[in-house]
């Protein structure tokens, strides 16, 4: 400021100085800090989104805008609700009070991109307000988790769905079944589980290849789905086993649905230009009578399926006696194990095979029987099929072979060289030690290999043809004869028959028994006989029960016959007496007294 004298003349000036260097430096530092944080925010991997008290966007960084497909300028001033669908808007509004008052921990939230697709984010937000002042908005840190969530969903879907068909799997079925049972219990409704099994599906795989089998399986789900309601469910449990869950139903409706499902799968499947026929069997369990929890209902439907598969192509509802039969079978297997250790329960009967040309005895088939001390005579169908599903079939087969070979040796020493046929199971064929077991038994009994015939059913051959061919080749090298049993009942073994080291085909009795009344069955028998002869094989007709069938088979050129017209199965000591009577009765049957066999 100027200093003047009395006359007003400026004689000096005064001034006050203040050092502002630190202020300048602070301002520069502040601007540098703001620029540094602006660059951090702009280049951050996370999105930053700031809204005001009216939920309008006041700032977004480039990353946040890119996530949603906008530019930052397009988002500024817009309400945050503009970037959400209706459900997300409702969730945002409902969470308003908490958002205004507190810091929100990380949580997943869904936004809608500019192109309409979903953006799932992991969001953490904090209220922007003074300690005691009004709410001024929020700042959110946002991470895109869309891809991670998609991957997680895909993994969850994979864990709960079948990879080939895309149908729900056993885990998801059990989960949905549990939910349905809970809802049904509260509403006093019924729920049904139907388990379906494709009969002879393995033969489709073996005949046409695994890719063809897969194409067939892919068609099963849509067919089943077309026969049920939207609220019901189709699942694939395993290879050729499917399940159907019916909710809010009743026994009558379940029966109708089962019949429709059978019909849907009864139509041929077209695969690579081939029309394939596959039968199906269905086991049914209905809540609450057959069970009120998922495990029980599924187990009892499976038990019913086992019963349904006996005739095949049928549906059966679970009944308490089915379960008792299952427990009885377990007890029976334990008792069979004991019987194999004894000499007074199991025995063999023999059914003769004779040549049609000259009526001479060509051999006998050994058939195992079980005289149980408490149960009486146990039919083979009540223990042999179940032994085949357990390890008991191996000792049972060994017992039958040993007895049959010893009897063959006894006949041979008496001047009667009678070949003995024995049926072998799938477990025998896939057992690498089976050929050696045969060799050991032949050596131990001193039996002639040429007097032993091993019979293998056609369906077993088609299960694992290459493995079966290898096993049969080893057996053939031992000198034993081999036969294909139940010929004509398998899906198709023609592709393998010329490769099998067999000497006989045994035409199934279902064709033979009906050939006199059905022209189509007679044609099948004729074709089988001709096929066998073309391949250098003898043909054996099973189930010959009358003279008319005998004469027709003879006219067709069939080689051997077996059945009640010739003889029922008899004990070993009855074979030679039967043979004497047979030789003395050239015009008809020579049925023996079978009272001892019973």
361-415: per-residue pLDDT in tens?
999 999 999 998 888 898 888 788 878 777 788 899 999 999 999 999 999 999 9
Task: For residue 19, count CB atoms less than 10 angstroms from its CB and return exposed for 0-12, middle for 13-18, buried for 19 or more.
Answer: exposed
- CB-based burial of residue 571 (10 Å sphere; 0-12 exposed, 13-18 middle, 19+ buried)? middle
Selection from 136-145, 150-159, 409-418 with the highest mean pLDDT: 409-418
Query: Which residue intervals of the chain bear CATH 3.20.20.450?
Result: 327-583
Are residues 560 and 537 in contact, defined by beta-carbon separation less than 8 angstroms?
Answer: no
Q: Mean pLDDT across the stretch 477-487?
A: 91
* Spacing of C-alpha 253 from chain mean position: 26
Q: How many residues does the chain have?
A: 598
Angle, CA of 364, 367 and 368, to the nearest 5°: 150
What is residue 327's predicted lDDT score, i.e. its pLDDT?
Answer: 59
Distance CA(235)–CA(34), nearest Å, equals 60
**Residues 569-592: what's their mean pLDDT?**
83
| Both structure tokens of 548 | 């008319």
Q: Give residue 596's pLDDT.
A: 39
Average confidence (pLDDT) over 452-461: 83
Question: pLDDT grade, residue 584 (50/70/90)?
Answer: confident
Q: Rounded to 5 degrees, what are φ and ψ at 320?
A: -55, -35
CA 404-409-412 angle, to 5 degrees, is 125
For the residues 301-328, what does the mean pLDDT come to? 78
> Which residues are CB-neighbours of 278 under 8 A, at least 6 positions away?
198, 199, 200, 201, 204, 216, 265, 269
Beta strands 241-249 and 190-198: pairing type?
A: antiparallel
Q: What is the rounded distance in angstroms from the CA atom of residue 34 to the CA atom of residue 50? A: 16
- pLDDT tens per residue across span 166-183: 999 999 999 999 999 999
Q: Is the whole-model pTM more than 0.75?
A: no
**Which residues have CB under 8 Å from 364's CB, separation 6+?**
350, 351, 352, 353, 418, 419, 420, 421, 575
Continuous H helices in 136-169? 146-160
Please give the structure tokens belonging to residue 136. 């001024």
CA distances from 451 to 255, 404, 427, 469 (A): 52, 10, 23, 21
Under 8 Å between Cβ of 504 and 538: yes
- To which CATH superfamily is domain 162-318 assigned? Reverse transcriptase/Diguanylate cyclase domain (3.30.70.270)
Close Cβ partners of 415 (under 8 Å, ≥ 6 residues apart) = none
**Tens-place pLDDT, residues 34-51:** 666 666 666 667 899 999
Cβ partners under 8 Å of residue 92, min gap 6: 80, 81, 84
Residue 16: cis peptide before it, omega within 30 degrees of 0: no
Mean of pLDDT over the chain? 86
Residues 6 or more apart whose CB falls under 8 angstroms from that of 78 comprise 56, 57
Burial class, 374, CB count within 10 angstroms (exposed 0-12 / middle 13-18 / buried 19+): exposed
- Buried b / exposed e across 198-211, counting CB within 10 Å, b at 16+? bebbbbbbbbbeee
Among the listed residues 493, 422, 420, the one whose alpha carbon sits nearest the alpha carbon of residue 455: 422
CB 192 within 8 A of CB 254: yes
Q: Among residues 310, 321, 315, 287, which one has the least CA distance to residue 195?
A: 315
Identify the weakest region by mean pLDDT among 118-127, 199-208, 245-254: 199-208
Q: Which CATH homologous superfamily contains domain 21-150?
A: PAS domain (3.30.450.20)
Beta strands in 155-227 (DSSP E): 190-198
CA distances from 121 to 106, 110, 118, 487, 541 (A): 10, 6, 10, 65, 74
Q: Which residue has the tokens 């299960």?
A: 463
Confirm if 333 and 390 have CB atoms less than 8 A apart. yes
**580 has pLDDT over 90:** yes
CATH topology of domain 327-583: TIM Barrel (3.20.20)
Structure tokens at 415: 């001047």
- pLDDT band, very low/low/confident/very high, at 598 (cuts 50, 70, 90): very low
Return residue ranges of the chain for CATH 3.30.450.20: 21-150
């Amino acid at each position: 400021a100027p200093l003047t004298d009395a006359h007003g003349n400026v004689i000096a000036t005064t001034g006050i100085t203040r050092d502002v260097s630190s202020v300048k430096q602070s301002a520069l530092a502040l601007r540098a800090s703001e620029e540094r944080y602006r660059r951090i925010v702009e280049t951050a991997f996370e999105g930053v989104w700031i809204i005001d008290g009216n939920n309008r966007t006041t700032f977004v960084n480039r990353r946040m805008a890119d996530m949603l497909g906008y530019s930052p300028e397009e988002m500024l001033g817009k309400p945050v609700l503009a970037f959400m669908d209706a459900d997300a808007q409702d969730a945002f509004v409902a969470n308003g009070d908490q958002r205004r008052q507190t810091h929100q921990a990380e949580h997943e939230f869904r936004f809608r991109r500019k192109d309409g697709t979903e953006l799932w984010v992991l969001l953490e937000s904090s209220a922007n307000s003074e300690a005691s002042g009004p709410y001024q908005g929020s700042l959110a840190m946002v991470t895109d988790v869309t891809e991670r969530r998609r991957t997680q969903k895909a993994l969850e879907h994979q864990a709960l769905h079948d990879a080939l068909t895309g149908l729900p799997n056993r885990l998801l079925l059990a989960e949905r079944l549990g939910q349905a049972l809970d809802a049904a219990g509260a509403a006093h409704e019924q729920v049904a589980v139907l388990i379906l099994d494709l009969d002879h599906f393995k033969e489709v795989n073996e005949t046409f290849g695994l890719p063809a089998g897969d194409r067939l399986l892919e068609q099963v789900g849509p067919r089943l789905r077309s026969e049920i309601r939207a609220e019901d469910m189709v699942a694939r449990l395993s290879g050729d086993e499917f399940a159907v869950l019916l909710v809010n139903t009743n026994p009558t409706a379940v029966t109708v649905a089962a019949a429709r499902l059978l019909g849907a799968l009864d139509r041929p499947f077209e695969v690579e230009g081939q029309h394939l026929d596959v039968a199906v069997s269905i086991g049914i369990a209905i809540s609450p009578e057959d069970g009120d929890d998922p495990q029980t209902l599924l187990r009892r439907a499976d038990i019913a399926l086992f019963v349904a598969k006996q005739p095949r192509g049928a549906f059966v509802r679970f009944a308490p006696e089915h379960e008792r039969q299952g427990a009885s079978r377990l007890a029976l297997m334990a008792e069979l194990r004991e019987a194999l250790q004894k000499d007074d329960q199991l025995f063999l009967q023999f059914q003769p095979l004779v040549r049609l040309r000259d009526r001479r005895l060509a051999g006998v088939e050994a058939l195992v029987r079980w005289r149980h001390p408490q149960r009486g005579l146990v039919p083979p169908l009540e223990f042999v099929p179940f032994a085949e599903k357990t390890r008991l079939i191996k000792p049972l087969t060994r017992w039958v072979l040993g007895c049959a070979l010893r009897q063959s040796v006894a006949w041979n020493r008496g001047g009667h060289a009678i070949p003995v046929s024995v049926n072998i199971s799938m477990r025998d064929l896939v057992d690498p030690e089976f050929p050696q077991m045969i060799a050991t038994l032949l050596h131990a009994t001193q039996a002639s290999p040429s007097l032993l015939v091993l019979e293998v059913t056609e369906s077993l051959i088609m299960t694992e043809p290459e493995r079966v061919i290898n096993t049969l080749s080893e057996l053939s090298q031992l000198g034993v004869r081999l036969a294909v049993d139940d010929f004509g009942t398998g899906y198709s073994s023609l592709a393998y028959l010329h490769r099998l080291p067999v000497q006989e085909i045994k035409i199934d009795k279902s064709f033979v028994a009906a050939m006199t009344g059905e022209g189509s069955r007679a044609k099948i028998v004729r074709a089988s006989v001709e096929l066998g002869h073309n391949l250098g094989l003898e043909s054996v007709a099973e189930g010959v029960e009358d003279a008319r069938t005998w004469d027709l088979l003879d006219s067709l050129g069939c080689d051997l016959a077996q059945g009640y017209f010739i003889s029922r199965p008899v004990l070993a000591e009855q074979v030679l007496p039967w043979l004497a009577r047979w030789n003395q009765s050239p015009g008809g049957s020579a049925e023996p007294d079978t009272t001892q066999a019973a």
